[in-house]
């Protein structure tokens, strides 16, 4: 009888914290796009005799992230030195947390959705721990030469380790998507995958259904997108299943593999290292961190609405599932939406301006949400519409031009001469002209045909190139007739 195998997956997620400065020094933490080796100092370069000072902002953010994934904060925890030699690690050790991490025993509830965004399954992945550490630099290989950029060295990271609770690649991706939303919601990390701010190591093994023991696993290192996470797990799963068929069981020991994106396969790197290899010991230059219950509950009070609750709130406003997820996954879009909604208190209007018009214009300009006008500019546009400076229709046109040119609404209205005509005497003049030019329509209105009025208003709108205030035109026209 063929045996039935199940796939066991656990993840380590590294997320760069969004702090002003690095983990243990005052260097700028935003090195993206800066010239190599320009945001460094003797501390993050690991010079002898320098003293690391923990970044309070980073610790606070890591605590918020820990609480958002329902972890318990260790009342006393400390930093450790993790030793290994690699040219991108200037000190010869990484400052991490080993036996007493910042936080342990959490859970993340996540949803799996279909293509329309409807939830098809809700699952829970247990979190083993969250600890803080600093990042290494970056190596670049050019032919036979290797270059190193230490700008990233010392950047504050959270490492979040899960229990082996995931059963396939799709679950792993749905889990990391939810984790990313949570980290962004508590402002702990921007988690921008394009900038490498979130990276995954995935462990995968097989076992017979009904057994509990974990078999030797493959650890896939350094995956930096959902796509590579999913593909690497699927590839390694197929490889392990083939191996099982051939050998009649799991591999003899843990291995570490790398994912080669171009070739779409994993490559053996080394036998997996154990904790002993790293010769961990408590970091002597940094005193232990202590958190009282009162301090922890003060942090808990600051927790914002988390993404799954936020989604419920958007759905209650009458927004569909797909749009709700769009808002949650795109922080800038959410800021714009929330500020427009706060001002209008009208979900339908907000949705039309932000999710239909704005996204439509961005799409046709082939721009992304980061290139969208800022929320305060959209609010300025609303003011121009609500005060009657321009009509709602002209507002749409102005929004299109804002996306196109990056100019402010007021600049566009002025440059294009789009101000709505609300001045009574100017409209009276137009109405008088309309009456003279449309004797037939006037006749039929006077004989009781209400619809004829629309034709006359239309004539005025055309004559004024859409700038006359239609409500005013209607009012003055009725008075005159």
For Zn ion, the binding residues (CB under 5 A) are 25, 27, 41, 43-44
Distance between CA 357 and CA 480 in Å, rounded?
A: 38
In 392-414, which positions are buried (b, 16+ CB within 10 angstroms) versus exposed (e)?
Answer: eebbbbbbbbbbeeebbbeebbe
Minimal distance, residue 422 CB to Zn ion, in Å: 59
Minimal distance, residue 281 CB to Zn ion, in Å: 23
Minimal distance, residue 81 CB to Zn ion, in Å: 17
Minimal distance, residue 42 CB to Zn ion, in Å: 7
C-alpha 294: how far from its chain's center?
A: 31
Residues 6+ apart with CB under 8 A from 211: none
Q: How crowded is residue 457: how many other Cβ atoms within 10 Å of its Cβ?
A: 17
Minimal distance, residue 410 CB to Zn ion, in Å: 43
Q: Tell me whether strands 72-73 and 281-282 are parallel, antiparallel or unpaired.
A: unpaired
Distances (CA, A) of 443 to 152, 381, 432, 446: 79, 40, 15, 5
Nearer to Zn ion, 26 or 387 (CB): 26
Distances (CA, A) of 395 to 113, 182, 410, 473: 36, 35, 11, 19
Minimal distance, residue 79 CB to Zn ion, in Å: 16
> C-alpha angle 271/277/283, rounded to 5°?
145
Minimal distance, residue 153 CB to Zn ion, in Å: 8
182 close to 306: Cβ distance less than 8 angstroms: yes
**Nearest C-alpha neighbor of 226 from the set 257, 186, 259:** 259
Distance between CA 182 and CA 303 in Å, rounded?
A: 11
Minimal distance, residue 322 CB to Zn ion, in Å: 43
| Token digits of residue 372 | 């969208």
Distance between CA 451 and CA 467 in Å, rounded?
A: 22
413 close to 399: Cβ distance less than 8 angstroms: no
User: In a 3-state reduction of DSSP, which class is residue 50?
Assistant: coil
The string of DSSP codes covering 190-240 is: ---TTTT-EEEEEEEEEEETT--PPPP-EEEEEE-SHHHHHHHHHHHHHHH
């Amino acid at each position: 009888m063929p045996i039935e195998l199940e796939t066991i997956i656990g993840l380590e997620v590294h997320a760069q914290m969004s702090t002003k400065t690095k983990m243990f020094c005052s260097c700028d933490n935003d090195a993206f796009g800066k010239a190599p080796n320009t945001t460094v100092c003797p501390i993050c370069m690991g010079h002898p005799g320098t003293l690391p000072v923990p970044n309070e902002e980073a610790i606070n953010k890591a605590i918020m992230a820990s609480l958002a994934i329902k972890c318990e904060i260790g009342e006393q925890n400390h930093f450790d030195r993790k030793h290994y030699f690699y040219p991108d690690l200037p000190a010869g050790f990484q400052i991490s947390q080993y036996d007493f991490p910042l936080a342990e025993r959490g859970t993340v509830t996540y949803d799996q959705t279909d293509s329309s965004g409807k939830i098809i399954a809700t699952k829970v992945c247990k979190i083993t721990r969250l600890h803080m550490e600093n990042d290494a630099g970056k190596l670049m290989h050019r032919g036979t030469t290797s270059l190193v950029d230490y700008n990233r060295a010392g950047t504050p990271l959270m490492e979040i380790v899960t229990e082996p609770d995931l059963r396939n690649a799709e679950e792993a991706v749905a889990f990391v998507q939810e984790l990313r939303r949570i980290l962004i919601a508590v402002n702990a990390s921007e988690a921008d995958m394009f900038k490498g701010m979130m990276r995954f190591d995935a462990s995968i093994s097989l076992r017979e259904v009904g057994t509990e023991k974990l078999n030797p696993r493959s650890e896939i290192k350094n995956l930096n997108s959902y796509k590579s996470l999913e593909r690497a797990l699927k590839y390694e799963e197929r490889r392990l299943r083939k191996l099982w068929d051939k050998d009649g069981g799991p591999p003899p020991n843990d291995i570490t593999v790398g994912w080669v994106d171009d070739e779409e396969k994993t490559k053996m790197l080394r036998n997996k290292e154990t904790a002993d290899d790293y010769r961990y010991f408590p970091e002597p230059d940094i005193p232990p961190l202590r958190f009282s219950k009162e301090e922890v509950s003060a942090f808990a009070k600051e927790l914002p609405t988390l993404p799954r609750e936020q989604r419920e709130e958007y759905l209650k406003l009458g927004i569909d599932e797909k749009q709700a997820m769009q808002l949650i996954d795109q922080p800038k879009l959410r800021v714009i939406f929330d500020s427009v909604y706060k001002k209008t208190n009208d979900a339908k209007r907000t949705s039309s301006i932000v999710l239909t018009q704005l996204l439509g214009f961005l799409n046709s300009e082939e721009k992304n949400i980061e290139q969208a006008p800022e929320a305060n500019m959209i609010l300025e546009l609303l003011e121009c519409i609500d005060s009657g400076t321009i009509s709602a229709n002209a507002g749409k046109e102005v929004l299109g031009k804002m996306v196109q040119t990056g100019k402010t609404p007021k600049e566009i209205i002025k440059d294009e001469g789009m101000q709505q005509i609300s001045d009574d005497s100017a409209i009276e003049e137009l109405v008088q002209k309309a009456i003279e030019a449309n004797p037939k329509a006037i006749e039929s209105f006077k004989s009781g045909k209400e619809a004829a009025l629309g034709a006359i208003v239309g004539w005025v709108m055309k004559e004024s190139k859409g700038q006359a205030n239609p409500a005013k035109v209607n009012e003055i026209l009725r008075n005159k007739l």
